[in-house]
Structure 1
Amino acid sequence: MAKQNNKARTGALRIIGGIWRGRKLAFPEVEGLRPTSDRTRETVFNWLQPYIGGSRCLDLFAGSGALGFEAASRGAAEVVLIENNRQAFMQLKQNAEVLQTPNCHIENKSAEHAIGALNKTFDIVFIDPPYQADLWTKTASDLLSHNLLSDGAMIYLEYPAKQDRPDLPSAWYLLKEKKAGDVKYCLFEFHAGEDD
């Protein structure tokens, strides 16, 4: 009889820039968790380079933490990582301890509940939900209704390439858009006071 392995399966990702460049971080292999590829992260953080230093970032569907930890590594003053999956959350906490980062705050709750509880504005927001959940439009609307975006905030959005871009608020102006394999990703700028 074959021995069963009860240990959870894990993958690894690499921080590609900043103070933790080259550091490898584990992430659990849970359904719907897709770490943003190195190539995509490099492009996105090249786009964000003028804005990242000293910024306040929100990673709403943190998963592996690839985007949030990359932002912290590159000089973000504060990064809030939100993850609903308990196993992924525990790994995020462990990775934050390994990195010894006091500026990363990790919460185990849904993006919807986190948005309702947060009481500060953010300069950069990452929105990369599990694709099957189809949460892009609702999340964008919730961010606006709870006033969580600073004027000029940068919003990163990732979604399946085979899908049309989600409906987003008119106050979000598309700055950049690219495709990598089966993924499309965009960078938007929020203009406060614009009509929706």
Structure 2
Amino acid sequence: MRIVGGTLRGLKLAEVGTGDAAAHLRPTSDRVREAIFNLLVNGTHGNPIPGARVLDLFAGTGALGLEALSRGAAHAVLVDDGAKAQALIRSNIAKARLGDATTLLRQDAARLGANRDLPFDLIFLDPPYAKGLGERAVASALAGGWIAPGAVVVWEESRPPLVPVPLAVIDQRRYGDTLVTLARAPEA
């Protein structure tokens, strides 16, 4: 796994191999990550990355949040409650030298609680597939004030997710067994 674009392009991240099923680690492939960022940068909905506050739920390796920072995001909060994921994320933050631009939270992404900081402009979520955790995480983020008005949510899943109101689907693409859904929060 490598950062595929931006100032850190080519940076090799910590190896996970084919993933860790017991820890629910299934890293987003470089190809899918590149496709996601192409959708964000070149989509008709405007590029949400420059200066963005990023929330990476079920962060796993932190690759999505770190990729966003490489491409101009201002800060990323990476959320995962797994011990193996925490170690991988810490290693990748160190490799990227992005300690000042990241916050790592060991927390259940499906039970975020109230946000005590500014809301986020760009939200990534890559939950374990077909368990309904993405729906719970997005509902929790909405209820807790984590999602800014006009924010873009990038959701990886194996099937079409049940995108909760008030989010609206703006794009959806399939890459092998991964379905990427982009949704937008309403403007204030």
- Give the 3-state SS of the residue equivalent to 2:89 in structure 1: helix
- Give the 3-state SS of the residue equivalent to 1:150 in structure 2: strand
Question: Contact 1:27–1:88 at 8 Å: present in 2 too?
Answer: no
Say which is worse superposed, 129-138 or 66-75, in terms of deviation.
Answer: 129-138
- Where does residue 71 of structure 1 map in the other structure? 68
What is the percentage of aligned positions where both structures have the same residue?
37
Residue 122 of structure 2, aligned match among 118, 121, 124: 124
Instruction: Measure the CA separation in 1 of the matches of 2:77 and 2:114.
Output: 12
Distance 1:192 1:51, change over 3 A: closer
Instruction: Measure the CA separation in 1 of the matches of 2:139 and 2:107.
Output: 18
Shift of 1:80: 0.4
* AA aligned opposite 1:127: L
Residue 166 of structure 2, aligned match among 166, 171, 175: 171
Shift of 1:192: 4.7
- Where does residue 183 of structure 2 map in the other structure? 188
Residue 30 of structure 1, aligned match among 9, 16, 20: 20
| RMSD over equivalenced CA pairs, Å | 1.6
- What is the TM-score normalised by the length of structure 2? 0.87
Count of residue pairs brought into register by the alignment: 177
**How do residues 138-177 of structure 1 correspond to structure 2 at under 5 angstroms?**
138-160=136-158, 163=159, 165-177=160-172
Q: Which has the larger radius of gyration?
A: 1
- Give the 3-state SS of the residue equivalent to 1:24 in structure 2: coil
Question: Contact 2:79–2:105 at 8 Å: present in 1 too?
Answer: yes
Q: Which runs of 5 or more residues in structure 1 are unaligned?
A: 1-12
- What is the TM-score normalised by the length of structure 1? 0.84
- Give the 3-state SS of the residue equivalent to 2:7 in structure 1: helix
Shift of 1:117: 4.9
1:21 aligns with 2:19: no
Instruction: Measure the CA separation in 2 of the matches of 1:188 and 1:139.
Output: 14
- Give the 3-state SS of the residue equivalent to 1:112 in structure 2: coil
| Structure showing the higher helix proportion among its residues | 1
| Structure showing the higher strand proportion among its residues | 1
* AA aligned opposite 1:155: V
Shift of 1:85: 1.0
Shift of 1:176: 1.1
* AA aligned opposite 1:147: G
Question: Contact 1:141–1:168 at 8 Å: present in 2 too?
Answer: no
Shift of 1:188: 0.6
Instruction: Measure the CA separation in 2 of the matches of 1:132 and 1:179.
Output: 15
Shift >4 Å, 4+ stretches = none
* AA aligned opposite 2:55: L
- Where does residue 44 of structure 2 map in the other structure? none
Q: Per-residue CA shift, 1:51-108, capped at 9, x if unaligned?
A: 1010000001000212111011111100000111111201211221121111011122
Instruction: Measure the CA separation in 2 of the matches of 1:154 and 1:130.
Output: 20
* AA aligned opposite 1:67: L
- Give the 3-state SS of the residue equivalent to 1:47 in structure 2: helix
